[in-house]
Amino acid sequence: MEYRTSTTNIKVRSYHIDSYQHVNNMRYMEFLEEARWTHFEGNKTLETVAKSGVGFVIANYNIDYLYPASMDQTLEIKTSLAKMGKKSVVFKQEIFIKENQKQALSANVTLVSFDIKTQLPAEITEEMRAEIIK
């Protein structure tokens, strides 16, 4: 099954840069998070999850850094659902540098559903699944 892909653009600013004049690796994780939030804004996932009394936490980042991004470049982040399990989802995220069309990184990010009250993993409900795949 092919899932929806969303695109988020982020301009690289001076505070994103490390001493080597490249985007700092930790900033990339912030960019990926921003893009996932934007992706969820394309449907009612956040509302449905909140109503269900669950949340999602990051269980794993798997990132391949491919090409350095620099100041004043625009990063285009593509986000799509790659896999959904009983209690987790995996998002495929790629960052491209718009100015030269080079791929800066490729990532798979695993999120686990958890019950906010018990702080234990929780199954993803059918209602949540229906929204996530939209």
pLDDT value of residue 12: 98
pLDDT value of residue 116: 92
pLDDT value of residue 41: 87
The rounded Cα 49 to chain-centroid distance in angstroms is: 16
**Residues of the chain scoring pLDDT < 50:** none
What is the distance between the alpha carbons of residues 111 and 9, in angstroms, rounded to a whole number? 22
Q: Which of 55, 30, 132 is nearest to 90 (CA)?
A: 132
Catalytic residue among 18, 64, 72, 115: 18
Examine the residue annotation and report whether 18 is marked as an active-site residue of this protein: yes
Token code pair at residue 52: 């269900």
Give, for 51, the enclosing helix (H) or strand (E).
Answer: helix 45-52
What is the distance between the alpha carbons of residues 107 and 129, in angstroms, rounded to a whole number? 22
**Is the full-model pTM beyond 0.95?**
no
What is the distance between the alpha carbons of residues 76 and 11, in angstroms, rounded to a whole number? 9
Dihedral sign computed on CA atoms, order 54, 4, 43, 107: positive
Q: Which residues pair with 115 in a beta bridge?
A: 54
pLDDT digits (tens, 9 = 90+) for 94-103: 999 999 999 9
What is the distance between the alpha carbons of residues 60 and 88, in angstroms, rounded to a whole number? 11
Q: Which residues pair with 114 in a beta bridge?
A: 55, 121
